[in-house]
Amino acid sequence: MQEAADKVDYENILVEHPADGVGLVRLNRPRTFNALTGPLMDELMTVLEQMDADDSIRCMIIAGTDRVFAAGADIGEMAQATPVELINKAFIARWERLQNLHKPVIAAVSGYALGGGCELALACDMIVASETAVFGQPEINLGVIPGAGGTQRLTRTIGKALAMEMVLNDRRLSADEAARFGLVNRVAPVDQYLDEAIKLASAIAARAPVAIRLAKDAVNMALETTLSAGLAYERNRFYVLFASEDQKEGMAAFLEKRDPNWQGK
């Protein structure tokens, strides 16, 4: 599967495997600030779904170039669209394919993450930013609102007051602000942010795969449900993991004072 993804020539993305167990997809439309066209999103989601099904990949990274992550949905592509065309093309429904991935996805953001670019990063599980990263939801300048999670994931992440300001008045966040408000996990210089993301992805890729999958699922459930339903969901997944070989191995390794050897079973 990994080889198959590597061999395909994509028009809008670059696919790499920078470390053991890590798949990296780079958005590659530099002349339009990585504006997210339908074909780009299709390529991105197809490759991520392939990586999700590939046993040799344990964690994925989405990055842009060092200059720009993505400046949002392609304005030229949608300027004259009708609602029916947008619905029929699943214009934004594509974004939602990201939330169905089982393995962790890290966004490595440098430069602008605007509109759909910010929403793409927000749909990932973690964000590593470069010092030049700028997060914003400028759709209001175009006479529209965010359509791929900018009013929902952003509000759940940074709270109502700041989300309102970003969505209603194009308030942009620097990398440091984004770190302070809990939008990003860490900030690094431009020449190091991608390595930082790869390091984080490698560390996660080396952990117990079944537990990682259920852990991601359980944390995401916190955004979807009530506390009591979420606690019950978490508890059930905790119990289920006692059916895995990795749970027996992890606890035996601790008691025997050795490193665990995860099988992903």
Name the residues annotated as catalytic. 73, 116, 119, 139
Please identify which residue in the block is written with the tokens 């344990």: 58
* Contact flag: residue 116 with ligand CAA (CB under 6 A): yes
* Contact flag: residue 35 with ligand CAA (CB under 6 A): yes
Instruction: Kindly state the smallest distance separating residue 24's Cβ from ligand CAA, in Å.
Output: 23
CA atoms within 13 A on the CB side of 46: 16
Segment contacting ligand CAA by CB under 6 A, of 74-82, 161-169, 187-195, 254-262: 74-82
Segment contacting ligand CAA by CB under 6 A, of 17-25, 137-145, 177-185, 222-230: 137-145
Q: Which of 167, 229, 195 is nearest to 106 (CA)?
A: 195
First to last CA, the chain: 20
* Contact flag: residue 71 with ligand CAA (CB under 6 A): yes
Handedness of CA 23, 91, 96, 143 (dihedral sign): positive
Query: Which of 21, 104, 115, 250 is close enough to bind ligand CAA by CB under 6 A?
Result: 115
| Residue 28 and residue 65 in contact, taking contact as beta carbons nearer than 8 Å | yes
Chain residue at closest Cβ approach to ligand CAA: 115
Instruction: Kindly state the smallest distance separating residue 149's Cβ from ligand CAA, in Å.
Output: 8
* Contact flag: residue 76 with ligand CAA (CB under 6 A): yes
CA–CA gap between residue 183 and residue 135 (Å, rounded): 9
Task: Quote the DSSP letter at residue 128.
Answer: E
Name the E strands within the chain.
13-19, 22-27, 59-63, 68-70, 105-109, 112-114, 126-130, 134-136, 173-174, 186-188
Query: Which of 21, 23, 64, 146 is close enough to bind ligand CAA by CB under 6 A?
Result: 146
Query: Which of 21, 64, 104, 138 is close enough to bind ligand CAA by CB under 6 A?
Result: 138
Biggest distance spanned by C-alpha atoms of the chain: 65
Tally the residues of the chain. 265
Query: Which of 21, 104, 150, 209 is close enough to bind ligand CAA by CB under 6 A?
Result: 150
Segment contacting ligand CAA by CB under 6 A, of 109-117, 157-165, 182-190, 219-227: 109-117
* Contact flag: residue 201 with ligand CAA (CB under 6 A): no
Q: Which residues of the chain form contacts with ligand CAA (CB under 6 A)?
A: 32-33, 35, 71-76, 92, 112, 114-116, 119, 138-139, 141-142, 146-148, 150
